[in-house]
Structure 1
Amino acid sequence: MDIIKEFKVKGEYITLSQFLKEESIISSGGQAKWYLQENSVFLNGVKEKRRGKKIRPDDQVKIADETYKFR
């Protein structure tokens, strides 16, 4: 069963690497490239490998069995 979490975007957007760091999925921004190569991350249902991809309110990110809804 998926776990759904809400994430509040401060400002217009957050990059995928910033989000991974804020959620403590990675410990530094430099790990984002490696993490995205080794793990499946989906942005709005599409597999995403770009660490600089902008995530905006109403977007959805799925990592393993966790889904994040952005507000």
Structure 2
Amino acid sequence: MSSIKYFIIKGDYITLGQFLKEESIISSGGQAKFYLQDSPVSLNGAPEDRRGKKLHVGDRLEINGQKYEFRQES
């Protein structure tokens, strides 16, 4: 069972592509499209493949068996 990692959002949202880069899942923004074509990503229990999808506080994301929950900067 994987633990949940908490990701702090600075501002109102972060895009899925920006998140992948921040977490070093990809090394450049241009790789996001190809990564999302080849690797299943689940956002709040539904498949998601749009690199521009806005992730907000409270969203839950699962990538490669790792779960993330988005929190607000305190």
TM interval, short-chain normalised:
over 0.9
Q: CA RMSD in A?
A: 0.6
Deviation of the 1:3 alpha carbon: 2.6
CA distance in 1, matches of 2:70, 2:33: 22
Task: Give the alignment's TM-score, normalised by structure 1.
Answer: 0.97
CA distance in 2, matches of 1:34, 1:42: 16
Superposition misfits of 4+ residues, deviation over 2 angstroms: none
The answer for the alignment partner of 2:54 in structure 1 is 54
Correspondence 1:15 to 2:15: yes
Tell me the SS of whatever aligns to 1:8: strand
Q: Percent identity?
A: 62
Tell me the SS of whatever aligns to 1:36: helix
CA distance in 1, matches of 2:15, 2:56: 9
The answer for the alignment partner of 1:70 in structure 2 is 70
The answer for the alignment partner of 2:36 in structure 1 is 36
Unaligned runs of 5+ in 2: none
CA distance in 2, matches of 1:4, 1:65: 10
CA distance in 2, matches of 1:68, 1:43: 10
Q: What is the aligned residue count?
A: 71
